[in-house]
Structure 1
Amino acid sequence: MSRISGRSLGVWSLRLDAAYCLILGILVAASAPQIATVVALPVPLLLTTGLIVVVWSGLVLWMVFRMRLRLALGLVLGVNVVAASLIAAAALTASGTLIVIAVLAVALDVALFAVSQVVAIRRIAAQAATVAVA
């Protein structure tokens, strides 16, 4: 069984990350008043965050097509680590156990994108080292 190349994994990781951000951003922005009732964060902050995430999704796609893949992966990885941390911190403001679990699940989703980006970067580096040796 052949393994997926680092480049393919990286491109798919970034594309899926962008799609996830688009959907999540739209949902957060559209549901900001409802979310604010269960997470002690102001509606304007949630609305702005949702809109920023939508814009970020477009930037991620732009990076896929316009930047060196390893650089794009590294940038998105860094943002995902920060975002996962902030989302996990937001769980501390949630009003109930199920809401805490739901918010932590989103943080975990974002962290898993970061993991896929680390794996892609490592595979790309390993493939480059193999080519350099050969």
Structure 2
Amino acid sequence: MKRIDGRALGTWSLRLDAIYCALLGGAVALSASSIALVVAIPQPLIVAAGVAVVLWAGLVLWMLARLRICTALRTVMGVNMLAALLVALCAIAAGTLLAVVAVFAVAIDIAIFAASQALALRTLPTARTA
């Protein structure tokens, strides 16, 4: 079995995470009125969350370009773990089963990004010594 290249995996994970955040955040911000109908969260809060996620996408790319890969991966992984928990908790506010499933699916997506970042960190030689 070929050894996983932690740097390549980490770089791809962060890039894909940023793209996912930009697309999801934009969709949430633009669809806030529709989302507010099925989730008991005020529309302005949903818009703010969507905009924050788009800004986070830019910050992820900035970290990838400016910070050590280990630092960027640890930071993004930690935020992803917290975000997955918060999004899962938002599912409780969903009014329909379909909305609950959709919100949990987003939480699972975020958790998968955190897992890929953890794997990348684990396979980086510098991650064990840093």
Q: For the superposition of Structure 1 and Structure 2, which TM-score range results when normalised by the shorter chain? A: over 0.9
What's the secondary structure of 2:95's corresponding residue? coil
Report matched runs for 1:75-114 at 5 Å: 75-114=75-114
What stretches of structure 1 move > 6 A for 4+ residues in a row? none
Q: Aligned partners of 1:129 and 1:87: how far apart in 2?
A: 28
Q: Which amino acid aligns with 2:54?
A: V
| Structure-1 residue corresponding to 2:58 | 58
Structure 2 CA distance for partners of 1:108 and 1:129, relative to 1, 3 Å: closer
Deviation at 1:98, TM superposition (A): 1.1
Query: CA contact under 8 A between 2:121 and 2:127: conserved in structure 1?
Result: no
The aligned amino acid for 2:64 is V
Aligned to 2:65, the other structure's residue is in SS state helix
For residue 23 of structure 2, what is the aligned residue in structure 1?
A: 23
TM-score by length of 1: 0.92
The normalised TM-score by structure 2 is: 0.95
Partner of residue 48, structure 1: 48
Written as runs of structure 1 = structure 2, the 5 A alignment for 1:115-126 is: 115-124=115-124
The Cα RMSD (Å) is 1.5
Query: How far apart in 1 are the matches of 2:17 and 2:34?
Result: 25
Alignment of 1:59-74 (within 5 A): 59-74=59-74
Question: What is the number of residues matched between the two proteins?
Answer: 129
Structure 1 residue 128 displacement after superposition: 4.0
> In structure 2, what is the equivalent of residue 9 of structure 1?
9
Work out whether residues 4 and 123 of structure 2, in 8 Å CA contact, stay in contact via their aligned partners in 1: no
Distance 1:64 1:98, change over 3 A: same
**Distance in 1, Cα, partners of 2:109 & 2:91:** 14
Structure with larger Rg: 1
> Could you say if the C-alpha distance between residues 36 and 120 of structure 1 is closer, same or farther in structure 2, counting changes exceeding 3 Å?
same
Q: Give the letter for the 1:44 counterpart.
A: P
Structure 2 alignment gaps of length 5 or more: none
Give the distance between the partners of 1:9 and 1:95, measured in 2 at CA.
38
